[in-house]
Amino acid sequence: VSEATQAPPAQANRQFLLAERPQGVPTADTFTLTSGAVPEPRESEVVVKTLYLSLDPAMRMWMNEGRSYIEPVAVGEVMRAIGLGQVTGSRHPGLAEGDYVTGLLGAQQFATLPGDQLNKIDPELAPLPVHLSALGMTGMSAYFGLLDVGQPNEGETVVVSAAAGAVGSVAGQIAKIKGCRVIGIAGGPHKCRFVTDELGFDAAIDYKSENVAERLQELCPERVDVYFDNVGGEVLDAVLANLAGGARVVISGAISQYNSAQPKGPANYMALAVDRARMQGFIVTDYVPRFGEAVRDISAWIADGRLRSDEQIVEGFDNFPAALLKLFDGQNRGKLILEVAKA
């Protein structure tokens, strides 16, 4: 065999495909790793080399069949993933080789897709991973979920769950910037110390070793005005039992239920009637037209040191399946990101 025939294709594209719909926590059988050629861009398309992939709890929901806010990933399809990459070929007038973009690149080393589906970013504004973190969907979720849905007022008490995680850490810091008293709920003493000592929350509750409802009674004698819920389950019930009159419960997510075939709803929902409170969900992509507003505020807060964007970066494309699981056993702190290639 000649050397020429042994050489790999100029741009081999390795991809993780959804191999089967997981029951419970994804396993080694959930994804297949394949390799193919990078498709040439057609008119108005671009080729993007993936540098970073955002690892998101929502990816677990995208693997399920059934009605949701977005179509499920089909079995055999490249796993859907938000990513940040660099344009390596363009037939789109608005994007040139070398530009940095974010979008639904998928769990693959190269993505060929319409330029209109990508968002060009300014690499001077912040280090690249921050564009998937506080300046990406994570920050947008925290900003609009808290401010638009939660509507906190200065002096109110805000409680945030998964407080040391990507969305929670930003939501709590924004609540502090808005003059609220902020209590974080997180798993383990390290994460609790992180949210108080490094992010400036007023207090933290370790839901793994403390009784959340009792600790809330102690820490919030005037009860809870805004609850930014990332986890659902028992923690949601404990906070519902401590709502103040007119409270707002923001349903950002319910990660404690994502691997369950029969997610459990809140038992204490009558607190909404007793406390004249409301519970409202949101999907961050509904706010796309207003993202500029959030990017402006968040980048200013980062620049003046009032907001910290925290990322945990796992290296190596092949580690995609294992890295994703870190979200579900609490191994991540801040925004979990996979580095696919060096920038």
Residues lying near ligand NAP in the complex (CB under 6 A): 56-58, 137-138, 141, 162, 164-168, 186-187, 191, 230-231, 233, 252-256, 282-284, 327-328, 330, 332, 336
Q: Which helix (H) or strand (E) holds 307?
A: none
CB of 82 to ligand NAP, least distance (A): 10
CB of 27 to ligand NAP, least distance (A): 17
The residue among 54 and 90 lying less far from ligand NAP, judged by its C-beta, is 54
CB of 38 to ligand NAP, least distance (A): 29
Q: Would strands 119-120 and 224-229 be described as parallel, antiparallel, or unpaired?
A: unpaired
192 is written with which tokens?
Answer: 């609790």
The residue among 269 and 282 lying less far from ligand NAP, judged by its C-beta, is 282
Tracing tokens 């890295």 back to the chain, one arrives at 323
Characterize 4-40 residue by residue with b for buried, 16 or more Cβ atoms within 10 angstroms of its Cβ, and e for exposed.
eeeeeeeeebbbbbbbeebeeebeeebbeeeeeebee
Instruction: Single out the residue of 164, 145, 165, 147 nearest to residue 156, CA to CA.
Output: 147
Q: Would strands 181-186 and 157-161 be described as parallel, antiparallel, or unpaired?
A: parallel
Radius of gyration of the chain (CA): 21
CB of 280 to ligand NAP, least distance (A): 11
CB of 287 to ligand NAP, least distance (A): 9
d(CA 291, CA 138): 12
35 is written with which tokens?
Answer: 């390799």
Contact predicate 150/248, CB 8 Å: yes
The residue among 181 and 333 lying less far from ligand NAP, judged by its C-beta, is 333
Contacts (Cβ under 8 Å, ≥6 apart) of 281: 149, 250, 251, 252
CB of 340 to ligand NAP, least distance (A): 18
The residue among 57 and 85 lying less far from ligand NAP, judged by its C-beta, is 57
Give the C-alpha distances (Å, rounded to integers) separating 319 from 70, 76, 213, 235.
26, 19, 38, 31
Instruction: Single out the residue of 19, 288, 307 nearest to residue 182, CA to CA.
Output: 307
The residue among 3 and 329 lying less far from ligand NAP, judged by its C-beta, is 329
d(CA 175, CA 146): 8
The residue among 204 and 220 lying less far from ligand NAP, judged by its C-beta, is 204
The residue among 255 and 340 lying less far from ligand NAP, judged by its C-beta, is 255
CB of 195 to ligand NAP, least distance (A): 9
SS3 (DSSP) at 40: coil
CB of 110 to ligand NAP, least distance (A): 25
The residue among 178 and 264 lying less far from ligand NAP, judged by its C-beta, is 264
